[in-house]
Amino acid sequence: MPGRALPPGHRPPLAAGRQARLREPDQALAVDPLRGPSALRSHRRGRGPRRTRRRAPGGPLGSGAGEPVTRRVLITGASSGIGAEVAWLLQADGARVALNGRDEAALVAVAGESAISVPGPLDEPSERDRVVDQALAALGGLDALVLSAGYAAHAPFEVMSEAALRAQLEVNLVAPLLMVQRALPALREARGCVVFLGSTLVERPAPGTLGYTVAKAGLHAATRALAGELAPVRVNAIAPGVVDTPMIRAPRHGEDTDDVATRVEALRELHPLGLGEPADVAGAVRYLLDTRWLTGTVLTLDGGLTA
């Protein structure tokens, strides 16, 4: 049976539950201009705005009370260039760092009072295992692994030796991956993070750089593959353009001093913002260590080279 028509302007009575939810117009629209609608939702629930966990200085997330947590970091390739700059920056932040490189005297020069030197080559399996194990023992665990060691043996493809190709793959790809594997239990316990050093050569190859480029392409792929598999351990990489380091200024196949200077200047002109400095990359490493909600990302840092 059809319902009886209501007189014009008549509104049916509201159910009790809906009446209870009504507020005066000024309350219903009271949105804090600084905090937005979330403040209104908190107001309706009778609570204040949500609290966020405070990040402890020098380390990963604390317990919420803001107490300092000292970050423990193993850095490879730390005797010069990007690795050394990362070591200085993180030590200034209060981190405890273990430094790896081939040149023990250079490591001692880089190391501050809180740093531990763990010299050794990374192309020998027993040596790289020892480096990880000694760092874990000295630091009492591991919150981050920064893999900046690199080796380049640039040469035209037609004269590239098998030994040079294998050496570049071993140092630039195999060693970083197996060091992550070795350190994984400690990284999982700390819900830590990994930062690989890739290269923009993956996106913009140059003649004579095949071995190095292929190895770095593998690291980029590994970054994406491991991000999902190892979560909540975060895995990211940085793909720098040309950074002014001793590696860049080392003579390549058949080069003399004048050739090196000409090549470096030509590289500088390719970058709209000029060559990078190790400090530029170190700042990006710190960003990736600090950023909680980022994994599987290859961060391009190239002064506009690939723009």
Helix or strand run (H / E) with residue 39: helix 37-44
Three-state DSSP at 302 gives coil
- Residues serving a catalytic function are 212
Q: d(Cα 79, Cα 91) in Å, to the nearest integer?
A: 14
**pLDDT for 52:** 36
Residue 42 inside a domain? The answer is no
Q: What is the pLDDT of residue 193?
A: 98
| CATH (domain of 278) | 3.40.50.720
Total structural domains in the chain? 1
Residue 284 domain-assigned (yes or no): yes
**pLDDT tens digit sequence for 268-303:** 898 999 999 999 999 999 999 999 999 999 999 999
Domain of 177 in residue numbering reads as: 72-301
Q: Is residue 265 part of a domain?
A: yes
Residue pair 205/215 in contact by the 8 Å Cβ criterion? no
Q: Which residues of the chain have pLDDT under 70?
A: 1-69
Tokens standing for 200? 């923009």
Radius of gyration of the chain (CA): 27
The whole-angstrom separation of Cα 256 and Cα 254 is 7
Q: Is residue 144 part of a domain?
A: yes
Residue 79 included in any domain: yes
* 114 part of a folded domain: yes
* Domain contains 4: no
- Residue 87 near residue 78 (C-beta atoms within 8 A): yes
What pLDDT was estimated at residue 257?
A: 79
In a domain, 5, yes or no: no
Q: Which residues contact 144 (CB under 8 A, 6 or more apart)?
A: 71, 72, 73, 74, 192, 193, 194, 195, 289
* Amino acid, res. 291: T
